[in-house]
Structure formats: structure tokens, C-alpha cells
Copies of this chain bind each other. A is one copy, B any other.
Amino acid sequence: MTEPYELYYWPIRPGRGEFVRLVLEETGAHYVDVARLPEDEGGGFKPLLEFVQGLRPGQPAYAPPILVHGDLVLAQSAAICAYLGERHGLAPDDSGRRMQALQLQLTIADVSDEAHNTHHPINAALYYEDQKDAAREASKSFLDQRLPRFLPYFERVLERSGGEWLMGDGLTYPDLSLFQLVEGLAYAFPKGFAHVAGSTPLLLDHRNRVAQRPRIAAYLASDRRLAFNEHGIFRHYPELDLSN
């Protein structure tokens, strides 16, 4: 299939779509970020809602991001990243190693979910303003108990990988997602992140190494890159950044 890829994701937030965008950008593949097109060119929320409401044929998607590639309609950011990674040389060939790359991607997704839960502990469908007290408690627990385990975990993976990247000598798709996770945590919790990151030098080097990849650097400097904001997974609410 040589069709360009189509990505469907909420146009105003980096969110889970950003994990996919980083892989697309690193591959240099041609893709259309459909919902960010003007509405009269088929963009906006409408095409997204058609998927979520089951109005499009093919295997239903529960939620964006959704990748369309020829006849294939694929949802779930980790599955999309794995699909693209395997097609474009950003995944190991061996079946066990391929699954270990997926393992790392899923652990990154778990941390992202926990980071989202800090501002939406009661329900993702309610406003932050309606769950602020619980959010304060959840954030404190996250910063005191979870972040000091998550970041050293990835530090240990890098320490053992035998190379500059998570899986060793070659960059794979979870490297790009780890970059986004670290950037997001540093944005959401500048104090809490700094408190832990002092003891994870390999992780900070890794973040810089990803940012300096030529295609990633060009992407980060472009207007295709959505800045972090208070509509995504990683939100900066100063009242939740309760570092000890």
C-alpha cells in the first residue's frame, strides 16, 4: 500500500495522538492530520465523530487516535505506533524483541494514563473544576509514590539496554513515546519532575537525543507540533504540582 496515511485525532490537544505523530514524523511518511484541516476541506470534529459513532465501515474504533491506511482502520495509539514502527524499521524483527518494544510502549501508556488521572481522578468525562479536591489528592500520591518509581524504571531500562536507546543500538517507536512522556511530565509538574529527574541522568540524555533527531527537530520547530495545553493528558495546574 502506498497511500498516504490519514490520522484522525482531536485537533486542539497533543494527547494520545502525539505519540502517533512522532512516529509518523520520524519515518518521514506522508500523512494527513485530517481533523486539523479546515472544515471545508473535510477537517474539524465531524470526521472524528463519524468514527466514534460507528458511521464508518470497518472494525469500530472506541476512540481516537485512528489511523487509516488503505482499507485498514486502526485505533489505539500503542497499536498504531507498533504498526507504523514495524512497517518503517522502527521495531525489532525478532518476535520476542518486537513484543518487548510493545511492553515498553504499554508501560509508557500506563504512566500517561496515571498522569491524566491526576487531574481527572473521578471521571474523564467530568470537568477538572468538578473534581479539584480529588485531583489534589491524586496528584500528591502520583508525585510522592508513583513518579519516583516510574522514572527510575525507565532509567534502569536505558542502563541495561546496551546502547543509546531503549532497545539497544537502534531507535524504536517507544523511544519517541518516552520522549513525549518525559516532556509532558516536565510540563505538567515542573517542580515534581525536577525533584525526581536529578537521579535519572540517562533519561534526560535520552530526551535530548530524541529532540535532536533531524526529522524530530524539524517537526518540533514546525507549526505541526501542538504545544502542551490544558486540554490533553499533561496539564499544568500549579495547584497540583505539590513537590515535597
Interface residues of A (CB under 8 A from B): 54, 58-62, 69, 71-72, 74-76, 78-80, 82-83, 86-87, 95-96, 99-100, 102-104, 106-107, 110, 113, 117, 121-123, 125-126, 131, 134, 137-138, 141-142, 145-146, 150, 153, 156-157, 160-161
- Which B residue sits closest to A150, measured CB to CB? B62
**What are 18 inter-chain pairs, A to B, with CB distance below 8 A?**
A59-B100, A59-B103, A59-B157, A62-B110, A62-B150, A74-B96, A74-B99, A76-B103, A79-B100, A79-B102, A102-B102, A117-B121, A121-B138, A122-B134, A122-B138, A123-B142, A123-B145, A123-B146
- Are B122 and A99 within 8 A (Cβ)? no
Known: A60-B156, A134-B121, A160-B59. A74 touches B54 (CB 8 A): no
Complex A-B, nearest 9 residue pairs according to Cβ-Cβ distance, in ascending order: A123-B141, A72-B96, A76-B106, A76-B103, A79-B102, A79-B103, A83-B99, A121-B121, A79-B99
Specify which chain B residues have a CB less than 8 angstroms from the CB of A74 in the assembled complex.
96, 99-100, 103
Give the copy number.
Answer: 2
Mostly, the A contact residues are: helix
Report the minimum CB–CB distance from A189 to chain B (whole Å): 15
Instruction: Compute how far the CA of A178 lies from the CA of B148 in the bound complex, rounded to whole angstroms.
Output: 33
Instruction: Compute how far the CA of A199 lies from the CA of B58 in the bound complex, rounded to whole angstroms.
Output: 22
Specify which chain B residues have a CB less than 8 angstroms from the CB of A86 in the assembled complex.
95
- Are B153 and A60 within 8 A (Cβ)? yes
Instruction: Compute how far the CA of A122 lies from the CA of B134 in the bound complex, rounded to whole angstroms.
Output: 7
Specify which chain B residues have a CB less than 8 angstroms from the CB of A126 in the assembled complex.
141
Known: A153-B62, A160-B59. A99 touches B82 (CB 8 A): yes
Query: 8 extra interchain contacts, Cβ-Cβ under 8 A, other than A69-B96, A123-B145?
Result: A59-B157, A71-B96, A76-B102, A79-B100, A79-B103, A82-B102, A117-B117, A121-B134
